[in-house]
A and B are shown apart, each in its own frame.
Chain A
Amino acid sequence: MDKPSKSNIRIGFYVCHCGSNIAAMVDCPAVAKYVETLPNVVLSRDYKYMCSDPGQELIQKDIAEFKLNRVVVASCSPLLHEHTFRGAVEAGGLNPFFFQMVNIREHDSWVHTDKAEATAKAKELARAAVLRVAQHKALEVKKVPIHPDALVVGGGIAGIHAAMTLANAGKKVFLVEREPSIGGHMAKFDKTFPTLDCAACILTPKMSAVGTHPNITLLSYSEVTKLDGYVGNYTVTVKRKPRYIIEDKCTGCQDCIVNCVYKEPKFRDEFNEGLGKRKPVYIPFPQATPQVVAIDPKTCLNFRNGELTNKCKKSCVTACGEKQAIDFNQQETFLDLKVGTIIITTGFQTFDAKRMPQYGYGKYPNVYTALEIERLVNTSGPTGGHVVMRDGKTEPKSIGIIHCVGSRDKKTNRWCSRVCCMYSMKLAHLLKEHTGAEVYSFYIDMRTPGKGYEEFYDKLLEEGVHFIRGRVGEVTDWAMSKEEMEEGKLIIRVEDTLAGYVRRIPFDMVVLATGMEAQSDAQDVRRLFNMSCGSEGFFLERHPKLAPVSTFTEGIFIAGACQGPRDIPDTVAQAGAAAAEALALIDKGHIEQEPNTAYIIEEECCGCKSCLPLCPYTAITFDTGKKKAVINEALCKGCGTCVAACPSGSIVQNLFDDDEIFSEIQGVLAHE
C-alpha cells in the first residue's frame, strides 16, 4: 500500500451505477468505500447516473466545497463520456485534464459474471486512476481551423444528397464519382418501393441540380488516390481517368455515338447489367450527369493494335466537328484538393449470384438477378420495358422470385440485406403488371419494417402474388415427371414450411433477390481514409447508436449503404445527417484537438536521432545548431511511438507521459 502523500493533491472519486448496468455486477458502494482509503482522496461517492445533469452538477459543487483539484469518475468507456466529464470538471473551475476516467461498464460489469471478481477489478482499475490522476498536468486544448470546403466521395443517391445539402448551405463541395455518370444504383432502378414512383423521375432532378449547382464541382470518372493532413486540413489527390472527351467542350449531342464506325451497339452495356449493348463511344444512360460521352479504350478501334486501328475512321471526330471535344491523347491527370471535411458514400455491390450454384445463375439462361429485372422492366431499358426472356421474344408465364440470395446465410453473408423483401415485392408487382404471369415469392421471413411497407405486402397479397415460406433448395432443369408440366421449365425445389411438405414448382423465369455487400475495394477505401470496417466488410461507424455517421477519424463521415445495407429513405436521411455533422464542424470554424502531442525536453536530448525516422508525420526534425531533436506540435498526432523509443527518456507525451502510465501499472497491480 502506498504511503499517504503529503502533497496538496485533493482527489474526488465518483463511481456510477449506470442504473443497474454497473451496479448489478459491481458493488459500487464497496468500491467508493475502498477508494476513500487511497492516498490523496478526500471524497469518494457512488451515484446512480454520473452523466446526468445532477451527476455533473455534483462534481462541480464538490470541487468548490471540498477544494478538489483532481477528479476520477468510474463509469462507462472514456470513448463515450470522457468529453462530458471533462466539461463538468472545467465548469467546476478546474483544468479539464485534471480528470481521469475508469471504464467499469464495457470492460467490467458487462463482460463478467462473478460480482466479487468484477468488484475487485473495479477497485483495482479505480486505484490505478487515482494514482494516475495525481500525476496529471494542466493542459491546453489546441484549436485547429477548419477549411470550409468539403469532399464527397461517391455519387449515388447518398453522395448526391449530401453534396446538395452542403452546397445549399453555401459550402463549396467536390463530388468525386468513379463512373462516367453519377446516379449509382438508384439510377438503375425502375420504380421505388412502396410508393412505386419512378426512380428516374425523383432522381433526375437531383442529378441535374448537382450538375449545375454553382457550389458543386463534379469530378466524374475520377477516383481519390491519396489523402494527407488531418481534420480541417485534408489534402486529397484525385485521379481523373481519361474519358477521351474534353468535358467542357462536349455538349451531349451524341452525334459521335450515331456516327461511330460500329453501326450497331456491340459491347456489353454495364448500365443495363449486360442485357443490352453499347458502342465504344457511349453515354451510360439518357439522364447521365454530366451529359458527357465517354470512350472506352478497351473496345474503341482507335486504341486497338495493327489492322484494327486502321479500320477506325475516326468518324466520331468528324461528327463532333468544330466542337473538337474528342481527344484521343487524353492522359490521366491528378488534382490536389484542399478540404476540411469528407463524406464517404461509396455504396455497395450486389451479391454475386454465381456463388450459389444451386440456383443456377449463369447456367440456366432464364435465371436472372433482381438488378437485371430492374433494367428489364424499365421503359428506357434494353427491351424498352418489354419483359421477355433471354431468347428475346418469349414472355414468361410463370415467375419465381427467390429471397435471401446471399443474405441470412452462414455460407455466404450472414446479415439481412434489409431491402430484398421489399424490392422483391416491388418486382413481383411490376412483373405481374407487365406480363400477367403467375408470380411466386419464396421467402424465409417477410421483413417489412418501414412506413407503408407492411401495407404494400398486404396489397401484393390481394393482387394474387403467391407467397411461399421456405428457403429454396435448388433450381434445376431436371424434369421429374411430364404430368407436372416440368419439361423444359426451371423447377424450384423448396420446402413449403407452412404447408409442411417439399414442393417442386415449374417456372419460365426465376429471379434471384441478391443481397447487398460491401464494395470489393472497400478495404482499400478504408485504408485510404483511415477508417475501420466491421467483420462483414462495411465501414464502421464511431458508435452504432450515438455516432452513426461519424468514423474514428475526425472530420470523415459515412452515409448510405457503404456503412451497411439500407434502402433509399434511410440512405437519404443518413446523407443529410452526415452533411449536417460536416456543417457543424465547418461552421464552428475550428476543432479542438486532444492535447496528447509529444514534446522534447531539450536539456535531456542527447541528439541521437533515434526518433527521427519513427515519426510517420515527419513532425520531428533535427536542429543541427543545437544538436537536438525538435517536435513540431502542429504536425504531431500523438501516437507516442517516438516517446517509447527515446533512449534518454527526453520525449514526453502529454496525457500519456511515463509517470502517468507507470503509476497506472502500479495501481492495477498493488496488492490489497
Chain B
Amino acid sequence: MTTKYSYFPGCSLKGIGRAYEESLLPVFRALGCELEELEDWNCCGATAYMAVDEVKACVLASRNLAMAEQLGHKELLAPCSACYLVLNKTKHYLEDSPAVRGVIQKALAEVNMTYSGQTPVKHPLDVMINNIGLDEIKKRVKRPLTGLKVAPYYGCQIVRPYATFDDQHDPVTMDRLLEAIGCEIVRFPLKTRCCGASLTGTLPEPGLLCAKIILAEALKRGADVIATVCPLCQFNLDGYHHNIEKKWGPHRIPTVYFTQLMGLAFGLGERELGLHRGFIPMKPLPAPAAAGA
C-alpha cells in the first residue's frame, strides 16, 4: 500500500543539493511512499526574504502551504532544513499572530487561495521514525552498512527554535535510523553546532572555522563519514575542503545525506543515489560487490 505525501523540494534540492532529492525519492519509494511534488511551488521564503521582511517571507511560504492543502495529502514533506523551518514558522505565526494571519489571508485571497492550517509540515526524519517506523525500515535493508562509522550531524534548523519530533539539545532520530541500517554511530557532541554555512558567504573565516571544527571532531572520533539532513550543511562541510586544507591542513572526510546511506543499505546504486556528486568521495563499502560505480 502506498502512502502519499505532498512534497516541497525547495530550491536546494533542485540545485546544489540535488543528491538529496536523488536519494530521497527512491528511498521513500522503497518504503512504499509516494512523494507528490507541489505543481507550482515557489521560494520557501528563507534566505534574504526572512532577513529583510519576515511577513513577506511568510506570505511566500503560505502560498506553498495553501497548495499543499489543496493537493489534499495528509502531510507536507520538506526535506531541506531551511524550508522546513520557514514553513513551520509561518504555520506558528498563522496560529499565534492575528496581525500576520490577516496579511497572509489577504495576500492569498488575491490569488483565490486559502489556507486553514490543517496540513502539517513534516521532516523526512520525522516521517521515517514516527510514520513508517524502524521495523519497516529494517525489513527493507538488503546490505546492512555494518562497520561504517557515522558521525550524525543534524545542524541547527530542524531543532531550533521548534523541536517538534526530537530533543533540542541531543537529537537522536537519525542515530536510531542509521543504527537500524547497520551503521555504527560515533558519539558526536557537536550534533547541532553551527556548520558555518550562514557565514561562509559573507565572513569566510569564522564560517570555515565552524566547518573545520566539525570535520576535525568527526575525524578525531573515528568516523568514516558525516551524515546530514540539510543541503546547506552538506555543501558547507563538503565544499570547502580546499580552503580548510590551506589554513589548517587536510580534514578529509565525506559528508553525505542520511538518505544516501539508507539507499546504499536498501541496495541502490551509488550513482543512482547521487553519491558521485560529493567532493570527498565515500570509500567503497566492503560489503558484496553489488555497488554501482
A interface residues (Cβ-Cβ under 8 A, vs B): 356-358, 363, 474, 476-478, 480
How far does the alpha carbon of A379 sit from the alpha carbon of B217 in the complex, in Å?
41
Q: Is the CB of B169 within 8 A of A358?
A: yes
Q: Is the CB of B213 within 8 A of A358?
A: no
Query: Residue on B with the closest CB to A354?
Result: B170
Q: Please tell me which one of the listed residues A357, A358, A363, A478 contacts residue B190 in the complex, with CB atoms under 8 A apart.
A: A478
Q: Of residues A356, A357, A474, A478, which shows the largest number of chain B Cβ atoms within 10 Å of its Cβ?
A: A478
Which chain B residues in 171-211 approach chain A with CB under 8 Å? 187, 189-190
Q: Is the CB of B217 within 8 A of A478?
A: yes
How far does the alpha carbon of A476 sit from the alpha carbon of B167 in the complex, in Å?
16
Residues of B within 8 A of A356 (CB): 169
Residues of A within 8 A of B217 (CB): 478
How far does the alpha carbon of A480 sit from the alpha carbon of B193 in the complex, in Å?
13
Question: Could you tell me the distance in whole angstroms from the C-beta of A521 to the nearest C-beta in chain B?
Answer: 26
Q: Of residues B167, B189, B190, B213, which shows the largest number of chain A Cβ atoms within 10 Å of its Cβ?
A: B189
How far does the alpha carbon of A357 sit from the alpha carbon of B217 in the complex, in Å?
20
How far does the alpha carbon of A79 sit from the alpha carbon of B40 in the complex, in Å?
64
SS class of chain A's interface: helix, strand, loop or mixed?
A: loop
0/1 string, B145-175, CB within 8 A of A gives 1: 0000000000000000000000101100000
Q: Is the CB of B189 within 8 A of A477?
A: yes
0/1 string, B206-241, CB within 8 A of A gives 1: 000000010001000000000000000000000000
Residues of A within 8 A of B187 (CB): 363
Interface size class of B (residues with CB under 8 A): under 10
How far does the alpha carbon of A474 sit from the alpha carbon of B187 in the complex, in Å?
15
Residues of A within 8 A of B213 (CB): 480
Residues of B within 8 A of A363 (CB): 170, 187
Residues of B within 8 A of A358 (CB): 169-170
Could you give 6 example pairs across A and B, Cβ below 8 Å? A357-B169, A358-B169, A358-B170, A363-B170, A477-B189, A478-B189
Question: Could you tell me the distance in whole angstroms from the C-beta of B249 to the nearest C-beta in chain A?
Answer: 15
Q: Is the CB of A474 within 8 A of B169?
A: yes
Query: Residue on A with the closest CB to B170?
Result: A357
Question: Could you tell me the distance in whole angstroms from the C-beta of B164 to the nearest C-beta in chain A?
Answer: 14
Return the 4 tightest CB-CB contacts between A and B, nearest first.
A357-B170, A358-B169, A476-B189, A478-B189
Residues of A within 8 A of B169 (CB): 356-358, 474
How far does the alpha carbon of A358 sit from the alpha carbon of B170 in the complex, in Å?
7
Question: Could you tell me the distance in whole angstroms from the C-beta of A509 to the nearest C-beta in chain B?
Answer: 18
Query: Residue on B with the closest CB to A357?
Result: B170
Question: Could you tell me the distance in whole angstroms from the C-beta of B82 to the nearest C-beta in chain A?
Answer: 24
How far does the alpha carbon of A474 sit from the alpha carbon of B170 in the complex, in Å?
11
Residues of B within 8 A of A476 (CB): 189
Known: A363-B170, A478-B217. 13 other contacts (CB 8 A): A356-B169, A357-B167, A357-B169, A357-B170, A358-B169, A358-B170, A363-B187, A474-B169, A476-B189, A477-B189, A478-B189, A478-B190, A480-B213
Question: Could you tell me the distance in whole angstroms from the C-beta of A486 to the nearest C-beta in chain B?
Answer: 12
Question: Could you tell me the distance in whole angstroms from the C-beta of B213 to the nearest C-beta in chain A?
Answer: 7
Query: Residue on B with the closest CB to A359?
Result: B169
How far does the alpha carbon of A474 sit from the alpha carbon of B169 in the complex, in Å?
9
Query: Residue on B with the closest CB to A478?
Result: B189
Residues of A within 8 A of B167 (CB): 357
Question: Could you tell me the distance in whole angstroms from the C-beta of B208 to the nearest C-beta in chain A?
Answer: 16
How far does the alpha carbon of A363 sit from the alpha carbon of B175 in the complex, in Å?
15
Q: Of residues B169, B190, B213, B217, which shows the largest number of chain A Cβ atoms within 10 Å of its Cβ?
A: B169
How far does the alpha carbon of A377 sit from the alpha carbon of B213 in the complex, in Å?
38
Question: Could you tell me the distance in whole angstroms from the C-beta of A245 to the nearest C-beta in chain B?
Answer: 43
Question: Could you tell me the distance in whole angstroms from the C-beta of A545 to the nearest C-beta in chain B?
Answer: 36
Query: Residue on A with the closest CB to B172?
Result: A357
Question: Could you tell me the distance in whole angstroms from the C-beta of A548 to the nearest C-beta in chain B?
Answer: 37
Query: Residue on B with the closest CB to A358?
Result: B169
Query: Residue on A with the closest CB to B221?
Result: A478
How far does the alpha carbon of A141 sit from the alpha carbon of B263 in the complex, in Å?
80
Question: Could you tell me the distance in whole angstroms from the C-beta of A471 to the nearest C-beta in chain B?
Answer: 13
